[in-house]
Amino acid sequence: MIEIKNLTKKYGDHVAVDNLTFTVKKGQIYGFLGPNGAGKSTTMNIITGYIGATSGQVKINGYDIFEEPEQAKKCIGYLPEQPPLYMDMTPYEYLKFVAELKKIPKGQRRDMIEEIMDRTKIYEVKDRLIKNLSKGYRQRVGVAQALLGYPEIIILDEPTVGLDPKQIIDIRDLIREIGEKHTVILSSHILSEVSAICDHVVIISNGKLIASDSPANLTKELQGSTSVSLTVLGQKKAIQQVLSSRSQIRQYTISESKEEPGAYDAELTCIGSADLREELFTAFAKIKCPILKMQTSGMSLEDVFLELTDEGAAEKGNTEETNTKETAIKETDTKETNTEEKEEE
């Protein structure tokens, strides 16, 4: 349905979208998950034909968005991060206006608008000015304009941002309903939101694709993850070489040890629940770099998500990061909900 190949978008020297490749299949709800600035909106703006790309390819139902934008755009309904609402119109006037823009045949407009207002539950506010509506209702009007013309694909950029908890539940229900008839892509920076609504999650960070899988598989894969902190005496390069050559290590940071002169502290995230201590002991012994300290602990899904999307964690290795990671090892069953509540304030 949507094929994205090696998509890159640069703003000057800044790479906002970095060589993204993935496919969206028909009939599923896709979640774009990533922290602020990850490149979610930029990617969505490219897919929907709002902005161009620096390089790469996007095909919507076989139509190239850059070469055949008219046909490609016809397949998509889009709710951008800033909904393009006209505050001095009523929802009904606004939807009539959008229906014209989308060139929906005159004879079909009325029934379609009625049906969509009904589906998005904005019927009771259809004659009030949009500027007087709550954020929740405005967001519904935004979703309604995306649905006009019944495009096969509906793209929603952070549809729950700024809503109160009740409105969030309502919008999520609406998205699930839409997902029964349309292919949906939504973006969010909240892990629990994406895993609650989506069939498939694409995690991006710094414009790069980090993971793409079902929430169940991601949870299975990530939840059992272990982390290892160790202090090793030796050359940084040699230590990095040992760590980089271990396929079981998903990511690591390395920094000069504060406590042990000449040594380095490393924080590793392992794939699954592998226990690498023995292997690390042997590997470092072989290159005569003594391990001064080593400790292992479990990680929650939220911890791993934060770690995966941590800016350039594998390269930077500054001490600040090491500190945050030490505090990340906690009991975390309730953490997801907590984070979400914070987001909703």
- Can you give the binding site for Mg ion, defined by CB under 5 A? 40-41, 81
Confirm or reject binding of residue 36 to ligand ADP (CB under 6 A).
yes
> What's the CA gap between 168 and 164, in Å, rounded?
6
Q: Which of residues 227 and 309 has its CB atom nearest to ligand ADP in the complex?
A: 309
Paired with 55 in beta bridges are 8
Which of 37, 49, 224, 234 is in the footprint of ligand ADP by CB under 6 A? 37
> What's the CA gap between 105 and 209, in Å, rounded?
40
Question: What residues contact residue 136 under an 8 Å CB cut-off, 6+ apart?
Answer: 163, 164, 166, 167, 170, 171
* C-alpha of 213 from chain center: 12
- Mask for 14-33, x = binds ligand ADP (CB under 6 A): x-x-----------------
Confirm or reject binding of residue 113 to ligand ADP (CB under 6 A).
no
Confirm or reject binding of residue 304 to ligand ADP (CB under 6 A).
no
Name the closest residue to Mg ion (Cβ).
41
Q: Which of residues 212 and 296 has its CB atom nearest to ligand ADP in the complex?
A: 212
Q: Which of residues 204 and 291 has its CB atom nearest to Mg ion in the complex?
A: 204
Number of residues that bind ligand ADP (CB under 6 A): 11
> What's the CA gap between 186 and 194, in Å, rounded?
8
Confirm or reject binding of residue 86 to ligand ADP (CB under 6 A).
no
| 307: number of Cβ within 10 Å | 22
What is the smallest separation between the CB atom of 185 and ligand ADP, expressed in angstroms? 13
> What's the CA gap between 72 and 171, in Å, rounded?
26
- Mask for 40-59, x = binds ligand ADP (CB under 6 A): xxx-----------------
Nearest to residue 145, comparing CAs of 96, 185, 182, 194? 96
Which two three-digit tokens encode residue 249? Answer: 């290590």
The entry of ligand ADP, Mg ion, none that residue 11 binds, CB within 5 to 8 Å by partner kind: ligand ADP
- Map tokens 């070489």 to a residue: 241
Q: Contact, 185 vs 44, CB < 8 A?
A: yes
Confirm or reject binding of residue 144 to ligand ADP (CB under 6 A).
no
What is the smallest separation between the CB atom of 10 and ligand ADP, expressed in angstroms? 9
Which of 11, 50, 86, 97 is in the footprint of ligand ADP by CB under 6 A? 11
> What's the CA gap between 289 and 264, in Å, rounded?
11
Identity of residue 93: E
Q: Which of residues 40 and 140 has its CB atom nearest to ligand ADP in the complex?
A: 40
The residues binding ligand ADP (CB under 6 A) are 11, 14, 16, 34, 36-42
